[in-house]
Structure formats: structure tokens, C-alpha cells
């Protein structure tokens, strides 16, 4: 299954960012700490090319701290980029954003030369929650679903510091299949764009080797982490279904209910602090996805070649 989701309002967001970025000093891109690579928008990198960038690895309290450290090191090694990890509901770390932006653009930030910051990211990554934390009041709508924010807004965080909020935006074509599943599992993709059962099976496949102990603790499977890692995905979800009462008539597995349980437990953090990818894994996925996409484009170009006109001589 190929997961794609780019509704109409995202086209408008892309146009708005293209115009706004011309006068922006720093770009803040919020990432989901559970899937930092998959939640980094390649279209956004293209639109904001050349601007100092602050990567905010958000929802760190729901992610594996060891893997979060790997991602921070990965981004901090990049030119003109800083990275910090946040739990957007905690006030003190959130205020560190202002200092980090000043470090990236030290000549901006007073009333004569105000700091103009664009904050953006994929849907449901926590931007609105962070902005409300920074403002100390409900300045932006929040919700546990994709597509809550639909229009750009300007927020004054301090004297000479202006923050421009934008709606969450994905990109027109997701070429890394693993990213599509990770985005769906996190809630960044609209419900009509994926199948719950396929996403839940992919999710279990990604976490069963590294987080078998967490799965056993949640679902009381009575299996060792090694045994859980070796279970086929369908058998693992069936075992979870039996433990959680996702059973239909005659004792059959209610696969839809089981899938919804697994996805909800991941999104809420009940499963534990889980990260779906490391920088090394994501780079492998990205390379393979780009190669496959280049081959698809080449085949498409070949199909679209106009046949040569016959020689009438």
C-alpha cells in the first residue's frame, strides 16, 4: 500500500510559505521525535533553502531517549542548523526556542531589526500546542488529528520577535514507503489515506525487535522479548487481539479492532517510549526510495515519448 495525502489546503500552504519565506530570518521545523526523518518535509527544505533552520524534535517524552540523542547529533552536524528536543507542553524548554533562534540569527531581534521566524511542520506534530505554551494561553487550536490549523497567523512572542504559524503540510508524493506508514501510525495522515490493519502490522514489524519488552508489558503476552521479535506480524497482532478482547463471533479475531488498539496505544504513548527509526535506518530507506522513484520516472518518461513520424518518402 502506498500512503499519500495532500489535500487542497496544503497547496495554499505551500504558496503561503513560498511568499512568507522571502522575509524570514529563521525557519523552525517541528519534527516528531518518534519519527524524525519521516516527519521532515523535503518540500519544506526546498522552499526554505538557505535559511538558518532550527529543528525542534518534539514529543521527546514519548520517544526513545537514546534514539533522540542520535537524531540531535545528526541534525546538529548539518550546516546552518541547530536541533533541540522538546516536550511542547513544558514551558521552560519551550522558551529555549527564542535563544536558539538568536544563536542562528544574532543580528536580529530588536525593534529596529525584529526577528521573523516561520514555524512549520507536518500535521499533528504539536505546533499549536507549542505556540499555546509559549504564549501562555490558547492562541492556536489543538487536536489529536491532522489538519486542525488551516490558515497562517502571526504571534508576538517577545519585543522584536515575531512568529509566523502555518498549517501542517505534507508533500505531494511520499517516495519512502516506510515514511508513509510511520506518518500514518503517528496520525499525520488523514484517515481516508490508509488502511488501519496494514499500518498496525507495519508498526508491529518495526517495533517488535527493539521494543519487545514494552509490548509484553502492555499486552501481558507472557513471552520473552526474543520470542516476540521472532513472531510473524499477523501472529503477534492475533495474540494482542486475544489479550485485549478484540474477538468476534465464534472466537474469530476482530482484526480492525485489534489494529485500532495498537495504533491508539502507540499514539498515546501507552506502549512506552518508542522511536520508529534511527538516522542510519532512515538514510537507507531514503536512498532506496529515491532510486525506486528515479526508475519510475524514467519508465514514465519512456512511455510518454512521442512515436517518430513515419518517413513519407
In tens, the pLDDT along 210-248 reads 999 999 999 999 999 999 999 999 999 999 999 999 998
pTM given for the model: 0.87
Q: Are 104 and 82 in contact (CB under 8 A)?
A: yes
CA-CA distance, 299 to 123, in Å (whole number)? 32
CA-CA distance, 185 to 180, in Å (whole number)? 9
Q: In angstroms, how far is the first alpha carbon of the chain from the final one?
A: 51
pLDDT level of residue 146 (50, 70, 90 thresholds): very low
Of 36, 26, 16, nearest in space to 122 by CA: 36
Q: What is the mean pLDDT of residues 167-183?
A: 91
Q: What is the mean pLDDT of residues 147-171?
A: 77
Quote the pLDDT of residue 75. 96
Residue 38 has pLDDT above 90, yes or no: yes
Say if residue 43 is exposed, middle or buried (CB neighbours under 10 Å; 0-12, 13-18, 19+).
Answer: middle
Q: What is the mean pLDDT of residues 285-293?
A: 93
Quote the pLDDT of residue 151. 53
Residue 68 has pLDDT above 50, yes or no: yes
Amino acid at each position: 500500500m502506498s500512503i499519500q495525502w495532500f489535500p487542497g489546503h496544503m497547496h495554499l500552504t505551500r504558496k503561503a510559505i513560498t511568499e512568507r519565506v522571502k522575509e524570514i530570518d529563521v525557519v523552525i521545523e517541528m519534527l516528531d521525535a518518534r519519527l524524525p526523518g519521516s516527519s521532515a518535509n523535503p518540500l519544506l527544505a526546498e522552499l526554505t533553502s538557505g535559511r538558518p533552520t532550527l529543528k525542534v524534535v518534539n514529543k521527546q517524552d514519548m520517544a526513545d531517549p537514546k534514539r533522540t540523542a542520535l537524531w540531535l547529533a545528526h541534525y546538529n552536524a548539518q550546516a546552518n542548523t541547530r536541533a533541540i528536543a522538546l516536550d511542547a507542553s513544558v514551558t521552560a524548554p519551550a522558551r529555549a526556542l527564542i535563544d536558539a533562534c538568536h544563536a542562528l540569527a544574532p543580528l536580529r531581534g530588536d525593534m529596529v531589526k525584529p526577528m521573523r521566524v516561520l514555524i512549520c511542520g507536518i500535521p499533528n506534530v504539536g505546533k499549536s500546542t507549542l505556540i499555546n505554551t509559549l504564549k501562555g494561553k490558547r492562541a492556536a487550536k489543538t487536536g489529536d488529528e491532522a489538519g486542525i490549523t488551516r490558515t497562517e497567523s502571526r504571534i508576538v512572542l517577545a519585543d522584536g520577535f515575531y512568529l509566523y504559524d502555518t498549517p501542517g503540510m505534507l508533500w505531494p508524493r511520499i517516495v519512502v514507503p516506510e515514511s508513509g506508514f510511520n506518518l500514518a501510525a503517528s496520525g499525520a495522515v488523514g484517515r481516508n489515506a490508509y488502511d488501519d490493519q496494514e499500518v498496525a502490522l507495519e508498526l508491529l514489524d518495526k517495533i517488535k525487535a527493539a521494543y519487545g519488552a514494552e509490548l509484553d508489558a502492555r499486552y501481558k503476552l507472557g513471552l520473552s522479548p526474543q520470542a516476540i521479535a521472532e513472531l510473524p506480524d499477523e501472529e503477534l497482532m492475533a495474540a494482542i487481539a486475544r489479550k485485549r478482547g478484540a474477538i468476534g463471533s465464534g472466537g474469530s479475531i476482530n482484526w480492525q479492532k485489534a489494529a485500532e488498539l495498537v495504533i491508539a496505544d502507540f499514539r498515546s504513548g501507552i506502549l512506552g517510549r518508542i522511536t520508529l527509526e534511527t538516522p542510519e535506518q532512515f538514510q537507507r530507506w531514503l536512498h532506496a526510495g529515491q532510486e525506486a522513484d528515479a526508475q519510475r520516472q524514467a519508465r514514465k518518461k519512456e512511455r510518454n515519448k512521442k512515436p517518430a513520424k513515419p518517413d513519407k518518402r
